[in-house]
Chain A
Amino acid sequence: MSSKSQLVVVGAGPGGYAAAFLAADMGMEVTLIDKRENPGGTCLYVGCIPSKAYLHVAKLLNEAKEAHNWGVDFGEPKIDIDKMRAFKEKVVAQNTGGTGQLVKQRKINYIQGTATFINSNTVKVEKVDGGTEEVSFEHSILATGSVPAYIPGLSIDSPLVMDSTGALELENIPNRLLVIGGGVIGMELGSVYAALGSKVTVVELMPSLLPGADKDLVNTFQKSIEPKFEKILLKTKVAKLEDAGKVLKVKLEGEGLEETELEFDKALISIGRSPVTKNLGLENTKVKLTERGFVEVNEKCQTDDPKIYAIGDIIKGPMLAHKASAEGKVAVEAIAGHKVAFEPAAIPGVVYTDPEVAWVGLTETEAKEKGIKVEVARFPWAASGRARTMDRSDGITKLILEPETERVLGVGIVGPGAGELIAEGTLAIEMAATAKDVALTIHAHPTLSETVMETAEVFFGQATHLYRPKRK
């Protein structure tokens, strides 16, 4: 069977489906191909969405525990992981069912299967329900996403070793869990298991958790979460991981370790993700890959094959759903002949732990590396009335500003709700707002968002709820 389509989108994650939906809304004939039943990809099925469902539960568990400080004792929680998993699955089903609906409403030709490129204008789809179909296209958008990175020696084939997808299955609550990799995924899923009662040890190769985030944010974050974890081992490497039947035998290497040989009931490998660009038949097109397997694109997300575009985790930049969606829209507009480019001033990054960590735009670390002169203003949440009412002073809001123009170049926040608060920072950066703009914008009281305003006030040396002796 063969058919024709104006636009073929390969991969229906948040990048692919956003692109397909926009293209359909703009009047294009669109074919969207994905191996899953509905659009959603990693994000909706085994990433952002299910992990957030669990993190919601984890936060509740933590707060319930804290509640005795506020005069309420819930006692020991009873955890039914089957029900918890079912809740997650319901969330996933609702979301993916929703995207499935949207596909139908937009009259998009959704093919459940795996596509390979035969040439620069045809894909062959191995359908999930059997049979193949060739679809020729005028344009195509590659949006195949990423999978958990595989590390030889660590990624052993054992039921006790999980990747993020496995961890979300929530088979059981292991007594002792080893999290390899203290990045976003490791810290989020590690937090979930810790809240459920696992003794979680995090091993990170780098000298700090959440590589990429500023030191001051990470320090505050770490201080706050450390009591919930068994151990956080930095500058440490897993030298050996061995399935010894019922337990995992682990050998660690690193500075100042008390013990180097440990036993765990399960391990989560969260050391990053790899782009999916193999076995797609890209060799039959002019699409070029980098050494690390990413697709090379120009500012319009166009590959070296002018009819084929690529977006999301398979191209340069952070592997984030919202970045992929934005790119998908740029690619579609470019295909429609509009003069567009993917040129955001800022892409926010959020870690949905408790407290959350979020940053956007220029970080202090990056400024230092690049030799960019900046001024930094910080506001500790201890001075926030709203944070106090939540018994949560473990937060900081900071602004990174251009000294001459006082323009907001970056924003960093740690604290509950940081992921929501960062939106204001992103808008400020995109609109080229100055510290004065932020300081003069009235923020509702009492809210955590006020801390953004007060940070700007700190920059000018006078913040209502923070006293600083005058600088000479």
Chain B
Amino acid sequence: MAFEFKLPELGENIEQADIVKVLVKVGDSVEVDQILLEIETDKATVEVPAEKSGTVKSVNAKDGDTVKVGSVIFTFDEENGTESIQETPKEEPKLEVVEPKAEVKKEENKQNEEQQSGGIIEFKLPELGENIESADVTKVLVKADDKVEKDQVLLEIETDKATVEVPAEFSGVVKEVKIKEGEKAKVGSVVLVIESGKSTAKQETTIEKPAKTVESVKEEKITTPKPDVTKQLVTPNESVDVARKKSFATKIAPAAPTVRRFAREIGVDINEVSGSGPAGRISIDDVKKFAKSFNEKLRSGGAGMPIGIKREALPDFSKWGKINKEPMSNVRKKTAEHLSYAWATIPHVTQFDKADITDIENLRKQFAKKAEVAGGKLTVTAILLKVIAAALKVFPQFNASVDMDNKEIIFKNYFNIGVAVDTEKGLIVPVIKDVDKKNILQLSAELAEISTKARDKKITLEDLQGGCFSISNLGGIGGTAFTPIVNSPEVAILGVSRGSFEQVYKNGEFVPRMMLPLSLSYDHRIIDGADAARFIRWVVNALEQPFLLTLEG
């Protein structure tokens, strides 16, 4: 029997809502309380749970739509669990080979025995880093029945920060692919089902409904010959439990009546506030803090907008000619947000200077072979890494971060330097760790390796984190100077432009010298102009007199 799912009442005076995300699609089976939609009203973002279980028959709205309260968003077929199993044997003669196996598997599971054939293992999207909850699947590199080896790359995914390859944690045979290219996958959601080759493989310990796993495996086998019909679950089973738990938790927030009343008075949904007390108890201060951060977000007009500035509406460009639109990649979105934030919050000053690198250029050419043997290329950037690491030791305020909330300056006693790399997907800044502990040859090799990794989209999140200072070298392209933006929460960045021969008055005559233009942008909140001038002078001197590196650095 079919039934309709209408957008429920959302509260007083709320007649419509914007759909942020539709979390189910046609063919999905949905359980009571499973979150179907994420919507946004003027007041809050709300998760809309299912009231009944069933199979999604149609979806009448998509992300970004504005829908009225009471309008039909989904139609469902009431669940009939056993049907699909009974039908299956008739479907395709091809199945004969796999079918008995599935039957055996079912028996095994029923008896709860772990046989020598190994287990069905749900492969979940692993943790990708702090604050990363989901990722776009850009490539699925395996299909059902593929054999996979441990460490073989199964998926390519893109997070806000980077493209990441996800390797297999064990070898086995892919039984089911639960995700498609272009879909979003949540961390912890089941993306593949793999039958492991070895009985010692890690078993999913919390298989609550073993029969169900078998069922889905079976279903997959049936649908494999016709991949276009394959409709898989986006939301894994456990998300249902999470949702249910959440829905209870949201019912009574751990806050005293006065706190709840206060939140309501200032228009804060108490359920969105996280408490700082025992058992997550919410205090009035927690509510205030939440309201403050919410207001700041609101005032900044959303992602990437500087505080206090509202986004201006864009004109209709197509009035003046042909246009085409393209969604921003995650890397682009993140870059836009991050740089807007840095630009808006850091009072930037850029100090320019030039270094005479004639001598060091000669040395560089002289030792180029050595670097090649070591697997790298002896570049100006590699040398600059070493110079900057030394400079950071001399000028510790350049190896710092600003904590305005606590009115503190955080000094770092390690020397990790980011190097901006131009990739197909846009700018990314891999970080070379412990530069001070490596020689220039090692740095050349590492720089070559990490740049290749970045361009080949093999960079890991770890490669992108933990920087203290950044270098952006545009010299390969050209230019005489530029004003780089500080890579917040760092406090300074060195821009490098193209070196060229210039007339330099030296020892009573004009001589041609190779001059390298340097641009040092810095955070004026904690770095004074004079210090910045001293810093860049030190860098220039070190490039001209490499002895300084060992003398002072």
A341 at the interface (CB under 8 A from B): yes
A204 at the interface (CB under 8 A from B): no
Which chain A residues border B280 with CB–CB below 8 Å?
A: 405, 407
Pick the contact of B260: A343, A346, A402, A437 (CB < 8 A): A343
Pick the contact of B279: A300, A341, A343, A432 (CB < 8 A): A432
Chain A, 336-362, contact with B by CB distance < 8 Å: what is the 0/1 string?
Answer: 001111011110000000000000000
- In Å, the complex CA distance between A151 and B50 comes to 36
- In Å, the complex CA distance between A430 and B270 comes to 14
Q: Is the CB of A406 within 8 A of B256?
A: no
B8 at the interface (CB under 8 A from A): no
Q: Is the CB of B256 within 8 A of A339?
A: no
A292 at the interface (CB under 8 A from B): no
Q: 8 Å CB contacts to B: which residues of A263-303?
A: 298-300, 302
Q: Is the CB of B254 within 8 A of A432?
A: yes
- In Å, the complex CA distance between A371 and B265 comes to 33
Chain B, 232-258, contact with A by CB distance < 8 Å: what is the 0/1 string?
Answer: 000000000000110010001111110
- In Å, the complex CA distance between A407 and B253 comes to 11
Which chain B residues border A405 with CB–CB below 8 Å?
A: 254, 278-280
Which chain A residues border B333 with CB–CB below 8 Å?
A: none
Which chain A residues border B248 with CB–CB below 8 Å?
A: 370, 372
Q: 8 Å CB contacts to B: which residues of A405-463?
A: 405-407, 409, 429-432, 434, 436-437
* Nearest CB on B from A288, distance (A): 12
Which chain B residues border A339 with CB–CB below 8 Å?
A: 264-265, 267
* Nearest CB on B from A413, distance (A): 20
- In Å, the complex CA distance between A298 and B264 comes to 15
Closest chain A residue, CB of each to CB of B255 = A432
Q: Is the CB of A406 within 8 A of B279?
A: yes
* Nearest CB on A from B534, distance (A): 53
Closest chain B residue, CB of each to CB of A343 = B260
Pick the contact of B12: A300, A429, A431, A434 (CB < 8 A): A300
Q: Is the CB of B256 within 8 A of A430?
A: yes
Q: Is the CB of B279 within 8 A of A340?
A: no
B292 at the interface (CB under 8 A from A): no
Q: Is the CB of B254 within 8 A of A341?
A: no
B261 at the interface (CB under 8 A from A): yes
Which chain A residues border B254 with CB–CB below 8 Å?
A: 405, 407, 432
* Nearest CB on A from B103, distance (A): 31
The residue among A302, A343, A344 with the most chain B CB atoms within 10 A of its own CB is A343
Q: 8 Å CB contacts to B: which residues of A370-407?
A: 370-372, 402, 405-407
Which chain A residues border B282 with CB–CB below 8 Å?
A: 432
- In Å, the complex CA distance between A339 and B266 comes to 8
Which chain A residues border B253 with CB–CB below 8 Å?
A: 432
- In Å, the complex CA distance between A208 and B260 comes to 36
Q: Is the CB of A436 within 8 A of B278?
A: yes
Chain B, 100-116, contact with A by CB distance < 8 Å: what is the 0/1 string?
Answer: 00000000000000000
B202 at the interface (CB under 8 A from A): no
Q: A298-B12, A339-B267, A371-B244 are in contact. Are A407 and B279 (CB under 8 A)?
A: yes
Chain B, 428-446, contact with A by CB distance < 8 Å: what is the 0/1 string?
Answer: 0000000000000000000
B311 at the interface (CB under 8 A from A): no
Which chain A residues border B525 with CB–CB below 8 Å?
A: none
Closest chain B residue, CB of each to CB of A407 = B279
Which chain A residues border B370 with CB–CB below 8 Å?
A: none
Which chain A residues border B252 with CB–CB below 8 Å?
A: 345-346, 409, 429
- In Å, the complex CA distance between A358 and B261 comes to 27
| A contact face: mostly helix, strand, loop, or mixed | loop
Q: A298-B12, A345-B252 are in contact. Are A434 and B264 (CB under 8 A)?
A: no
- In Å, the complex CA distance between A432 and B265 comes to 20
B198 at the interface (CB under 8 A from A): no
B369 at the interface (CB under 8 A from A): no
Which chain A residues border B11 with CB–CB below 8 Å?
A: 298-299
* Nearest CB on B from A344, distance (A): 8
Q: Is the CB of B261 within 8 A of A340?
A: yes
Which chain B residues border A341 with CB–CB below 8 Å?
A: 264
Closest chain B residue, CB of each to CB of A437 = B278
Which chain A residues border B12 with CB–CB below 8 Å?
A: 298-300, 302
Q: Is the CB of B264 within 8 A of A340?
A: yes
Which chain A residues border B245 with CB–CB below 8 Å?
A: 372
The residue among A406, A431, A432 with the most chain B CB atoms within 10 A of its own CB is A432
- In Å, the complex CA distance between A248 and B53 comes to 49
Which chain B residues border A370 with CB–CB below 8 Å?
A: 244, 248
* Nearest CB on B from A106, distance (A): 24
Q: 8 Å CB contacts to A: which residues of B252-307?
A: 252-257, 260-261, 264-265, 267, 278-282
- In Å, the complex CA distance between A430 and B280 comes to 14
Q: Is the CB of B279 within 8 A of A430?
A: no
Which chain A residues border B281 with CB–CB below 8 Å?
A: 432
Q: 8 Å CB contacts to B: which residues of A189-224?
A: none
Q: Is the CB of B279 within 8 A of A434?
A: yes
Closest chain B residue, CB of each to CB of A435 = B279
Q: A405-B279, A405-B280, A406-B279 are in contact. Are A338 and B256 (CB under 8 A)?
A: no
Which chain B residues border A299 with CB–CB below 8 Å?
A: 11-12
* Nearest CB on B from A336, distance (A): 13
Which chain B residues border A436 with CB–CB below 8 Å?
A: 278
- In Å, the complex CA distance between A345 and B252 comes to 6
- In Å, the complex CA distance between A340 and B279 comes to 25
Which chain B residues border A431 with CB–CB below 8 Å?
A: 256
Which chain B residues border A409 with CB–CB below 8 Å?
A: 252
Which chain A residues border B265 with CB–CB below 8 Å?
A: 338-339
- In Å, the complex CA distance between A430 and B278 comes to 14
- In Å, the complex CA distance between A132 and B248 comes to 50
Closest chain A residue, CB of each to CB of B264 = A339
- In Å, the complex CA distance between A431 and B259 comes to 9
Closest chain B residue, CB of each to CB of A341 = B264
- In Å, the complex CA distance between A340 and B245 comes to 26
Which chain B residues border A346 with CB–CB below 8 Å?
A: 252
- In Å, the complex CA distance between A402 and B254 comes to 11
- In Å, the complex CA distance between A431 and B264 comes to 17
Q: A371-B244, A402-B279 are in contact. Are A432 and B256 (CB under 8 A)?
A: yes
Chain B, 324-356, contact with A by CB distance < 8 Å: what is the 0/1 string?
Answer: 000000000000000000000000000000000
Which chain B residues border A371 with CB–CB below 8 Å?
A: 244
Which chain B residues border A430 with CB–CB below 8 Å?
A: 256-257
Chain A, 180-193, contact with B by CB distance < 8 Å: what is the 0/1 string?
Answer: 00000000000000
* Nearest CB on A from B243, distance (A): 11
Chain A, 295-333, contact with B by CB distance < 8 Å: what is the 0/1 string?
Answer: 000111010000000000000000000000000000000
Q: 8 Å CB contacts to A: which residues of B214-245?
A: 244-245
A residues in contact (CB < 8 Å) with B: 298-300, 302, 338-341, 343-346, 370-372, 402, 405-407, 409, 429-432, 434, 436-437
Interchain Cβ contacts under 8 Å between A and B, 15 examples: A298-B12, A340-B261, A340-B264, A341-B264, A345-B257, A372-B248, A402-B279, A405-B254, A405-B278, A407-B280, A430-B256, A432-B254, A432-B255, A432-B256, A437-B278
Given contacts A339-B267, A432-B256, list 10 more A-B pairs with CB under 8 A: A343-B260, A345-B252, A371-B244, A372-B248, A405-B278, A405-B280, A406-B279, A407-B254, A432-B279, A432-B281
Can you list the 5 inter-chain pairs with the closest CB atoms, starting with the nearest? A432-B254, A405-B279, A407-B279, A345-B252, A434-B279
